[in-house]
Structure 1
């Protein structure tokens, strides 16, 4: 990822972002099984609900609200909320690299991401947060991919343990 003289291999970094996106999408889609199991609907109907909710936040909110229904056992609720919390914690890094542009210096070197989001604060706007694409950034992405893989396994285990539609 990092060349001997220091700069990052941008093409390799983009491949890493692609792997992050694949891992994210694959893991987020498992929310279908949680929606189905917690609500008592079949997987086909849960898929329609999942696709109708057009943001990750809305999908996670749905799962969390369903898990908080009185009929859900406390242990099951706690486990589902822990899983959704882990998914949500990974969203910031994913969003950083999916809602940005990439910039370089005049020689086409020193890549960085520039976040394309406005933060509306009390008395000012903040925009264009810049992050270097360096070894630390690559390590963060690799760690997120590993955590998503772990979350994926843990969601599947919960699906099996609670007999949710698979």
Structure 2
């Protein structure tokens, strides 16, 4: 398999792992808000950004009536998910440059950075072995967050 295919598969795996894990927020919403899973799904789907979904779960966990145990279990998982969202977002919102062999050589971030009197856009970053390792590490951490959320759901009897 050539490097291009390998990188595309890795980015696909990153997106799959992220989406699978983000969907577990449904169970946390159900457990923290004390609603059934169907209601939690409606809430989850009504919030149309990852940021809004994570914010909701964080806020539910921080409510005074929420047991401290839930806060201690859930907030660190959400923090890790937030940390990994940066890399996930990068690969969902960038374009790629290719080298003479047809392999991905760089990413161009499609984001505007406002300065005091100018703007910058299209930050260029190399797609090298270090970046490939970073993506793999990110997938591994998201997978661990996934397991952590399932642990919270099962041990606390949240709706499944």
Do these two structures clear the TM 0.5 threshold for a shared fold by scoring above it?
A: yes
- Number of residues paired by the alignment? 160
SS in 2 for 1:111: strand
Give runs of aligned pairs for residues 22-61 of structure 1, distance below 5 A: 22-61=16-55
Give the aligned partner of residue 164 of structure 1: 158
Give the aligned partner of residue 103 of structure 1: 97
Q: Deviations over 1:123-158 (max 9, x none)?
A: 332211111111111100110111111111010000
Measured in 2, the distance between the counterparts of 1:107 and 1:153 equals 39
The answer to whether the Cα contact below 8 Å between 1:38 and 1:66 also exists between their aligned partners in 2 is: yes
Task: Please report the TM-score for the alignment, with normalisation by the length of structure 1.
Answer: 0.90
Q: State the 4+ residue runs in structure 1 displaced beyond 6 angstroms.
A: none
5+ residue gaps, structure 2: none
Q: Deviations over 1:59-92 (max 9, x none)?
A: 0000011111111112211221111111101001
Give the aligned partner of residue 110 of structure 2: 116
Give the aligned partner of residue 135 of structure 2: 141
The answer to whether the Cα contact below 8 Å between 1:33 and 1:43 also exists between their aligned partners in 2 is: yes
The answer to whether the Cα contact below 8 Å between 1:113 and 1:133 also exists between their aligned partners in 2 is: yes
Identify, as 1 or 2, the structure richer in helix.
Answer: 2
5+ residue gaps, structure 1: 2-7
The answer to whether the Cα contact below 8 Å between 1:10 and 1:111 also exists between their aligned partners in 2 is: no
How far off is 1:33 after superposition? 0.3
Task: Please report the TM-score for the alignment, with normalisation by the length of structure 2.
Answer: 0.94
Give the aligned partner of residue 63 of structure 2: 69
Measured in 2, the distance between the counterparts of 1:87 and 1:27 equals 9
Measured in 2, the distance between the counterparts of 1:32 and 1:56 equals 12
